[in-house]
A = this chain, B = another copy of it.
Amino acid sequence: MTTIEKGNGVLTLVNVFTVDQDKQDQLVDLLVRATNEVMKRQPGFVSASIHRSLDGKKVVNYAQWASLEMFEAMKRNDEAASHMKAAASLATFDPILCSVSETIGAGPR
């Protein structure tokens, strides 16, 4: 389970992949495998949550890293870079680095 909380200090990476519908499953599998085999062992990795769009055309990775520096260090890791390259062969992607401004749950109705 992943938690989103204001002021948690983590770097959030929202990575939106655009993919052919017939390759969505393959991309989800690749990202799950890459996260389990490589990313989760990298220093500063907090979590990754892989989402598939209902229309089959997107995959969203909502990932958390302990800091921007640790995220940048991961990108220089050969094993991680090779997995990102494999993802790039299946899809285009648009990574957004961000921080949590506010999280709001359901209130009294």
A-side interface residues toward B, CB under 8 Å? 1-5, 12, 14, 16, 28, 32, 35-36, 39-41, 43, 45-55, 58, 60, 62, 68, 96-107, 109
Q: List 13 A-B contacts (CB under 8 A).
A: A1-B105, A2-B3, A2-B103, A3-B4, A28-B102, A32-B101, A36-B104, A48-B103, A48-B104, A49-B102, A49-B104, A54-B98, A55-B97
- Tell me the complex Cα distance, A53–B48, Å: 18
**Stoichiometry (number of copies):** 2
The answer on a CB contact under 8 Å between A68 and B54 is yes
User: In the complex, what residues of B have CB within 8 A of residue A100's CB?
Assistant: 49-51
- Tell me the complex Cα distance, A43–B108, Å: 11
For the complex of A and B, 3 pairs with smallest distance between CB atoms: A51-B98, A49-B103, A2-B4
